[in-house]
Amino acid sequence: MTTNSSSQLKTYWRSRLGVTAWQHPSGLWTSRRLRKGHAPLRLFHFKRLTLWQMLLALCHPKQVNQLEVRTAIAFIVGPFLFAIGSLWSITVPGAQALSSATLAMGSVFFTAGGWWQLRQAKLATKVLPADMQDWQWCGLRCAFTQSMGTVLFNINTFFLWGWPQSNENSWLLLAVLPNLLGSILFLVSAADGLIEVGHGKLLVYEPSHLGWWIAMVNALGCLWFMQSALAALPNNLPEIRVFNAGMATRTTLLGSLCFAIVGILSLAECSEDEASNT
């Protein structure tokens, strides 16, 4: 991508919820392909892939120095650590300290992935049309809100790990509130991600589109994280009790597995152009 491309872009898909595609002399440049550093498409608005081609894309050699690849790897490792930490909490009595430490380490990878994803989107804003505000692009909003959400999960997990015997005020401000706000931001990000692949629609059906699978599974993970945050709201603040600790842990596990799948699909997406040519 070059900054000279901005004068060549003309808005192609725009709705009240944001801009999702531009016309370029080389073809149609969709929001997701733009922020992932992929070239415009000539024949359709996404690469049609069979299941076999998706597997080929996943197995295709990757360059770890590419932002897209590093982002995908971070979103695999972080959610897997979240899932392991949640599983320990469910299955191993007395493993709360180990579980909290694993969740905290997982949140670091979450935040790294969120930062790299946001950096990709910010680099892509250089080619947006000059008459368009950056905030109108749902791809940038998607990356920004998810990145901010991961930072809030950092606060939550590191607080629970470092101060397990906290008082009710610090627990409310540094554990409950960041968890709730982070989950809300994840839901907002998921909505923008669905709008991005649906071009103004929240729900479309495109099973041969890797980006569609990523957006759908990510939205499911965000819904489970939101359920976890609601189950972890205070039921008795002085005693630091939540409504349903078991449900909060189980839905964190389910959401984490969804995000790990998103990371794996994103890693395949890095090579979707190569796989579609085989």
| 130-146 b/e (C-beta count within 10 Å ≥ 16 → b) | eebeeeebbbbbbbbbb
For 111-150, write each residue's pLDDT tens digit.
999 999 999 999 999 989 887 888 999 999 999 999 999 9
pLDDT band at residue 208 under the 50/70/90 scheme: very high
- As a whole-number percent, the residues of the chain with pLDDT over 90 amount to 82
Question: Is the alpha carbon torsion for 34, 49, 28, 20 positive or negative?
Answer: negative
Output Rg (C-alpha) for the chain, integer angstroms: 20
Total-model pTM:
0.93
Query: Which pLDDT value is given to residue 1?
Result: 47
Q: Which residues contact 60 (CB under 8 A, 6 or more apart)?
A: 270, 271, 274, 275
Residues β-bridged to residue 23: 10, 28
Residues β-bridged to residue 29: 22
- Strands 18-24 vs 10-15: parallel, antiparallel or unpaired: antiparallel
Q: What is the mean pLDDT of residues 156-167?
A: 89
The token pair that represents 43 in the structure block: 């024949």
